[in-house]
Amino acid sequence: MKQQGFTLVELLIVLMVMAIIAVALLPTAIRSMDSYRVIATVEEMKAIAGFAELARQLPGGDQFNNSTTKAVASFLESYDVTNIGMSSTSDKKNHWSESYLITTTGKAAQVTTTVPLKGINPFEVIAKSSGTGTSLTYTHRVSPDNYTRLMHVRGNKHILYLE
């Protein structure tokens, strides 16, 4: 009766080949994950900037200068505006645990964050590399023709309706 199977040497050779392939593919996998994280960060910046633009339209909404998502969410909650993905109890951070900083002016809402990657230039943001990372800035502007706003006071809360 003949035994079937692999010898120890054959198994070691297969494992070595697999290890070499894995090491060769590791940089590509890391770049792919970083690319995904940057894209997800830019999409989050766009969503946060939309909420910041909503806040900017409200009385007192031009007060934010490098504020956190927590501060903007708290402000919007005082107007009974739902903050999808933002909470007044905790600050939202990007995939590298860096805060999103929000600034509102009379013309636009701006969101900035830093990623620990140099030399990236994602679509729809201004990217500036310095030090060990890159600063990403997204500016959200809404045309007055794109929305109508109606606000009234009920009790002690401001209620906002957007169309």
Determine, yes or no, domain membership for 1.
no
Determine, yes or no, domain membership for 2.
no
Determine, yes or no, domain membership for 130.
yes
Structural domain span for residue 129: 8-162
Distances (CA, A) of 130 to 40, 101, 114, 133: 21, 17, 10, 6
User: What is the pTM assigned to this prediction?
Assistant: 0.73
Bridge partners of residue 101, in order along the sequence:
112
Q: What confidence score (pLDDT) does residue 86 get?
A: 83
Task: Render pLDDT for 68-95 as a digit per residue (tens, 0 to 9).
Answer: 999 999 999 888 887 777 888 899 999 9
CB 7 within 8 A of CB 87: no
Total count of domains within the chain? 1
Rg, C-alpha atoms of the chain: 24
